[in-house]
Amino acid sequence: MTGLIGKKIGMTRLFSHDGESQAVTVLQAGPCVVTQIKTEEKDGYAAIQIGFGEKSEKQTNRPAEGHFKKSDVSAKKHLIEFPMGHGKMPELGDEVTVSIFGEGDLVTVKGVSKGKGFTGVVKRHGFAGGVKTHGQSDRLRAPGSIGQASDPSRVWPGTKMAGQHGNRTAVMKNLEVMKVDSENHHLFLKGAVPGAKNGIVVVTK
């Protein structure tokens, strides 16, 4: 397996052997269950689908119920596919744990960034704001001019303006695994990870 679905618990710090403090993010990575194995012959590509988080029967529709029944596992809240690796082939219902990672591994984490709602250009894009002199009092956080007059007489697509901030898929690459706690299914990653506490993340080797 090349990855896991997990949940962001929060941030803390770990100390290295020489006493240096390192900021780390704690994830509950798994345990996940193999819910489907896709093959070239049947599906046109090779992949492994895993599930994470329990889901009540009341919230599970009939097609999903049949899907989970095939692999003989309980209904899962979150499903994701990973390309099939070259190692040992898992079977339906197999459990995938945080032990697939080791200290020192570099991983990629994908999550959804915190939603900030509608924000202005200073917060959204880091604009400096207008000058505070020459009688200007009401344009301190305004974006200023967004285009030209006679040529090209329009606003270019992609111009940085106020708008929805956050609540988008964000990816962090090359985060170092500082510690693996297999007993509690915890993964300690150096630095920050996208999203709020209890947000769902995907960790890939």
pTM of the model: 0.80
Structure tokens at 120: 């202005």
List the beta bridge partners of residue 181: 186
Under 8 Å between Cβ of 199 and 5: no
Query: Which residue type occupies 159?
Result: T
Residue 87: predicted pLDDT: 63
Residue 85: predicted pLDDT: 66
Distance (Å, whole) CA 180 – CA 175: 14
Cis peptide before 143 (omega within 30 of 0): no
Distances, alpha carbon 190 to alpha carbons 15, 27, 55, 114, in Å:
11, 11, 31, 19
Residue-wise pLDDT for 24-50, tens only, equals 999 998 789 998 888 888 888 888 899
9: pLDDT strictly greater than 90: yes
Residue-wise pLDDT for 147-190, tens only, equals 888 888 899 999 999 999 999 999 999 999 999 988 999 999 99
The residue with greater pLDDT, 109 or 138, is 109
Residue-wise pLDDT for 111-154, tens only, equals 999 999 999 999 999 999 888 888 888 888 999 888 888 888 89
Share of the chain above pLDDT 70, in %: 99
Report domain 3-143+159-204's class. mainly beta
